[in-house]
A and B are shown apart, each in its own frame.
Chain A
Amino acid sequence: MTDNSAPIGEVDPELADVERPTNEQDDCFARFVNVQKSYDGVELVVKAFNLDINKGEFITLLGPSGSGKTTCLMMMAGFETPTHGKILLKGQPINDLPPHKRGIGMVFQNYALFPHMTVAENLAFPLEVRHFTKEQIKDNVERALSMVRLEDFGDRRPAQLSGGQQQRVALARALVFEPELVLMDEPLGALDKNLREEMQYEIKRIHASLGVTMIYVTHDQSEALTMSDRIAVFNDGVVQQLADPQTLYESPANAFVAYFIGENNRLVGDVIERLGEQCKVRLDGGDTVLAKPVAVGGIGSRTTLSLRPERVTVLHGASDPRGDALDNRFSAKVQEVIYLGDHLRTRIAVCGNEEFIIKTPNAEGHYALRPGQEIEVGWASGDCHALDA
């Protein structure tokens, strides 16, 4: 687990140049090696991007707008050249290979279906340029259409399809020539929520059945968590953490990842003591919290504590036996309760933080909290990650 998680902070471009060992050459399908990109010669949009992609993997590039995800994808597809560094596909550097020779399928955010061709003609295009015979083209197009369940739509123009259908056609077109690698740049961005979830499932199904390698770009974290084998969290041109969804959620490598993935409560303070697997942090409000040191310096350094809302337990008074296992216990005051059906989101004031959110399941045995109520809360130090400030 921890091997997968590779926190990479800001890397000095000079140092980033060092070649990394290429021992995993065999199972490494595609690689970005110290890739940098600048559009204007002034600012690096991508700084020292390293990524090893295994065959058949579903990798997601996740990050806020402008963090360089599309740029990385475009470099892989061949529409942008890296300013520095190497991109390898099956062990071969492809920096100088024009896009049409890379054999990479791509799904664009706006689908980019050719409006003057029918659906079938769109799908036939990549096969025609590869000089398939008429029968082969017909067979493959039919197979691709049935894969995305649009058998009867071959004669329609893209403009005569709904958004979700266009999306399926774009997917089928990127897959019809059986590329080993498929890139998708926010392919579901234009769809409504229900359709998006349906398509997420569809893409996963196709990924599993074909065994293609997929690089997927999104800024929707729940999409990334449900679909990916591994996620690279981008910020500011740097991969903040590369890990599987669970590791990312459970053990964020730094404050940005913790903040970006899922909901999280933040408490800010100074490290006052380090005790092996734990550290003691004095919050700015004066309280002392036990936490798990993940990315902190020595005693006296600033830290942000990150705590998931669902990891906070509301205790039934000071004598609640569940409290015994929790090495952080504080009294709190309920500020606001939001009813969300299956669970309650409650905003409480604790340790000087008035924006502290806790989640309690809407089930028997859980308190019905009211605003203004004084309560006791607790959490385990292992769930409270001490990250960079």
Chain B
Amino acid sequence: MSESTSSGVLTTADGVPLKVSLRRAVRRSRFKALLLVAPLLLFLGIAFVMPIFDMLSRSVANPEVPTHLSRTVAALEDWDSQSGELPDESTYAALATDLAEGHENRAIGRLSSRLNYEQSGMRSAIMRSGMASRTMEPPYKEGLLEAHEAWGQLETWRLIKRESSPYTMSYYLAAVDMKLSPEGAIVDVADNQKIYQALFWRTFWMSGVITLLTLVLGFPIAYLLANLPLRKSNLLMILVLLPFWTSLLVRTTTWIAILQSQGVLNDMMVALGVIADDARWQMIHNKLGTIIAMTHILLPFMILPLYSVMKTIPSSYMHAARSLGGKPFLSFRRVYFPLTIPGIAAGGILVFILSIGYYITPALVGGQSGRFITNYIAYHMQTSLNWGLAAAIASILLFVVIIFYLVFNRLIGVDKVKLG
């Protein structure tokens, strides 16, 4: 054993431990590398990480009741919601003060919407009582009961007590068609109010179908791209990339022009006598429309990863399999196909994730039955302004995508996929 190792620590010639010396040597270059990527890191932080955290916190945030009914919440502290009795006069007084103040600073609208999500009728209860509470004299209990009968019901008070925490899971429950019963148990909403479960399910299975279709259509094209002589494959590659040069909106609306009942395809079929004029195919504004248009739009995202993997498979593998006695299809199945699996997985996960999150195309060609869950996120963002619910749905999508990715990583391994 040499001297430097017998002491247990390797040292450089001047006696500095090797590890220390190495760390010093790489520190400078690390710092430079960090400087180079700093703008990107900053951008990612602002445009990616922060919005995600904002979304996650919005999906559980519950500031309305604790903030705008702070006195009431404090007064309800000692109230036993199981006692079967209404709260005492002091609580009603606190509520009246809160409502009057809320009416003053216009916070009452948000509060009423929030409570209305949980129990319909709460909006009018709050708005009307808010108006009345400005001029209300004691006893407040009578005044409030006069303003709205909801204040005489135990459920109303239980609801306020329940929602007095700064966090809530009711958005997540709503996102999967569930709610908290007045007793605090998790129950399904009424069947005629269920929408999101079906929408999630529809989004997933349609994305699955779209992924499968892009695979079936894209596989042979990727094969040709990887195996044709250079000049032909270059031309084909241009054709594959061509859609990227036109706007997504143009491509989607083109499908409307082609598929609608007075569209190109139907006109042609009628002209050819394949279908009667009054029996035109309904191919758009339904699931079929969404599937056709999305398959077309997402096809390149399947072809390109497949191509990049196939490009690395030398033709000698198939030659070897054939010369060893494998029939063409068997050789393909046993030798070529397994080697393309990393590409299939990469393309599949890419198309599936993109498809789950797609929004414009289903909105334009999906009609009522072909819409995706994302369209409802947009609806709650823009129209109903229920951002909490939008954030909860989006977070669920994010979790699902992460789970898909982890499963994929477990099965295939990301490192096996070489893109480009």
By a beta-carbon cutoff of 8 Å, the part of chain A in contact with chain B is 77-79, 98-100, 102-106, 108-110, 112-116, 125-126, 129-130, 173-174, 177, 183
Contacts and interface: CB of A to CB of B under 8 A. Distances in A.
Contacts of A77: 319, 323
B320 A100 contact: no
A79 B319 CA distance: 7
Interface string B321-343: 11111111011001100110000
B317 A129 contact: no
A110 B316 contact: yes
Contact of A116 (B323, B326, B330, B339): B339
A105 B339 CA distance: 22
A5 to B, nearest CB: 32
B319 A99 contact: yes
Please classify the interface of chain B as helix (H, G, I), strand (E, B), loop, or mixed, using the class held by over half of its residues.
helix
A78 to B, nearest CB: 8
B325 to A, nearest CB: 5
B45 interface: no
Please classify the interface of chain A as helix (H, G, I), strand (E, B), loop, or mixed, using the class held by over half of its residues.
loop
A125 B327 contact: no
Contacts of B338: 116
Contacts of A126: 324-326
A116 B317 CA distance: 11
A112 B314 contact: yes
B323 A99 contact: yes
Contact of B316 (A99, A100, A112): A112
A321 B325 CA distance: 65
Contact of B334 (A79, A104, A125, A183): A125
A89 to B, nearest CB: 13
A125 B324 contact: yes
A186 to B, nearest CB: 12
Contacts, number: 69
Best-buried of B324, B326, B328 by chain A (most CB within 10 Å): B324
Contact of B322 (A99, A110, A116, A183): A99
Given A100-B327, A106-B319, A126-B325, 5 more contacts: A108-B316, A112-B314, A112-B320, A114-B335, A130-B325
Contacts of B334: 125
B326 A110 contact: no
Contact of B325 (A112, A114, A129): A129
B319 A177 contact: no
A219 B338 CA distance: 34
Contact of B317 (A100, A109, A112): A112
A106 B330 contact: no
Nearest to B336: A114
Best-buried of A112, A115, A173 by chain B (most CB within 10 Å): A112
B330 to A, nearest CB: 6
Interface string B223-267: 000000000000000000000000000000000000000000000
Contacts of A125: 321, 324, 326, 334-335
B335 A104 contact: no
Contacts of B335: 114, 125
Contact of A108 (B319, B327, B331): B319
A106 B320 contact: yes
A119 B321 CA distance: 14
Interface in B280-331: 314, 316-317, 319-328, 330-331
Contacts of B324: 100, 105-106, 125-126, 129, 173-174, 177
Contacts of A104: 323
